[in-house]
Amino acid sequence: MAIVNLRPYFVKLVNTRTKRPIDDDTGVFQVYTAGAATRATIYNAAGTQLTQEVVGSSFISRTMTDGTLEFYTDRSVSSVDVTIFTAGGRSYFLKSLSASQHRADVDPEQTEFTLVAAFNDRASCTTVRPLGFRLRRGMVVKDVFIKVTAAFAGAAAASNRYSVGRSGAATGFLNNITLSSVGFKQAQPDLSLTGVVIPSRYGAGLAEFHASSTGNVDFYVRKSYIAATATASNNLVVKRQTAATLTHSFTNTGVSGAGKGYIYFSYTLLPTELAS
């Protein structure tokens, strides 16, 4: 594909305090179709397509160079949405980014962020799938919720329950959230005399569930998850709880019963713990 047929996007991160460009070689980004929870088709300067998803397996982020995001789209694409996640754990969602916008401001004093990760489910199995982002040291995850933009469908209700977590703890943030209808989805644990109902509850990283010692209603206590180190076990992941019967073509389109949406990770940065 000739480069003349592609539209270039070139975005530089700039420190709002020093007014100087940021040198970041480990920060990552993902490019989405504008207004949709699907990864856009992007290319490098040579016209080679850059992988952002392995269907049924994982989602993949692209790495920035010297604090610069560079990618290309087809000429027919006038804008895209982009999630940026810097080496220091700062996250930005650039909505309807056009090719003429070449700068993204990074505020070094800001501590409250929301990381946005889209997921477009085309896996019938219960494979744990990385979202393409890893928690940075010093991040304190306070809450996680989901917006379903296309309802998930399967042979049984349980196949539309999803969990969100991290490597080794796939249900660590959200455990069995039902995504069979569009709209915002939050953990809503049901506590009763017979125990905690598993579907639609927080995971162990965001809540502690306790059985009553007196036979009364069980209870839970909310907490935050602190990323004390930058380890592989902090890769953010998603999984289907029960295998679904879906019709697959294993291409970017053509999967019957697949749903899509956004996962929002609300977090605070601890200034003394940041990697950079």
Shared domain check, 255 and 121: yes
- Strand (E) or helix (H) holding 146: strand 139-150
* pLDDT confidence of residue 229: 83
Confidence of residue 247 (pLDDT cuts 50, 70, 90): very low
Mean predicted lDDT score pLDDT of the chain: 85
* pLDDT confidence of residue 200: 79
Give me the domain span that covers residue 228. 111-276
The Cα-based distances of 114 to 89, 139, 197, 209 in angstroms read 10, 11, 28, 26
DSSP label of 247: B
* pLDDT confidence of residue 120: 81
pLDDT tens string 128-159: 889 999 999 999 999 999 999 988 876 556 66
* pLDDT confidence of residue 190: 67
Shared domain check, 263 and 146: yes
161 forms beta bridges with 178
Longest CA pairwise span in the chain (Å): 73
Q: Residue 213 pLDDT more than 90?
A: no
CATH classification of the domain holding 79: 2.60.40
Structural domains in the chain (count) = 2
Shared domain check, 272 and 230: yes
Confidence of residue 244 (pLDDT cuts 50, 70, 90): low
Q: 3-class DSSP state for residue 273?
A: helix
* pLDDT confidence of residue 245: 55
Compute the average pLDDT of residues 34-47. Answer: 94
Shared domain check, 96 and 43: yes
Shared domain check, 186 and 103: no
* pLDDT confidence of residue 251: 39
| Rounded distance between C-alpha atoms, residue 197 and residue 217, angstroms | 12
Shared domain check, 188 and 69: no
* pLDDT confidence of residue 212: 66
Q: Residue 162 pLDDT more than 60?
A: yes
CATH classification of the domain holding 141: 2.60.120
Strand order in the sheet with 49-50: 49-50, 42-43, 68-74, 6-15, 103-106
The Cα-based distances of 226 to 142, 159, 162, 204 in angstroms read 9, 30, 22, 12
Give the amino acid at 10. Answer: F
CB 264 within 8 A of CB 116: yes
| Rounded distance between C-alpha atoms, residue 192 and residue 102, angstroms | 54
Shared domain check, 258 and 125: yes
Shared domain check, 246 and 130: yes
CA angle 202, 129, 113 (to 5 degrees): 55
Q: Among 165, 123, 163, which residue's Cα sits nearest to residue 141?
A: 165
Of 64, 86, 108, at which residue does a domain stop?
A: 108
- Ramachandran class of 63: left when φ > 0, alpha when ψ lies in -120 to 50, beta otherwise: beta
Of 63, 80, 108, at which residue does a domain stop?
A: 108
Shared domain check, 123 and 80: no
Backbone angles phi, psi at 159, to 5 degrees: -70, -10
| Rounded distance between C-alpha atoms, residue 97 and residue 192, angstroms | 47
Half-sphere exposure of 204 (CA within 13 A, CB side): 6
Shared domain check, 214 and 146: yes
Task: Say how many Å lie between the first and final Cα of the chain, rounded.
Answer: 38
Shared domain check, 129 and 89: no
pLDDT tens string 88-128: 999 999 999 999 999 999 998 899 999 999 988 776 667 88
Compute the average pLDDT of residues 254-262. Answer: 70
Shared domain check, 127 and 8: no
Q: Among 124, 151, 167, which residue's Cα sits nearest to residue 259?
A: 151
Confidence of residue 197 (pLDDT cuts 50, 70, 90): low
| Rounded distance between C-alpha atoms, residue 192 and residue 190, angstroms | 7
Q: Among 240, 241, 145, which residue's Cα sits nearest to residue 184?
A: 145
Of 71, 92, 108, at which residue does a domain stop?
A: 108
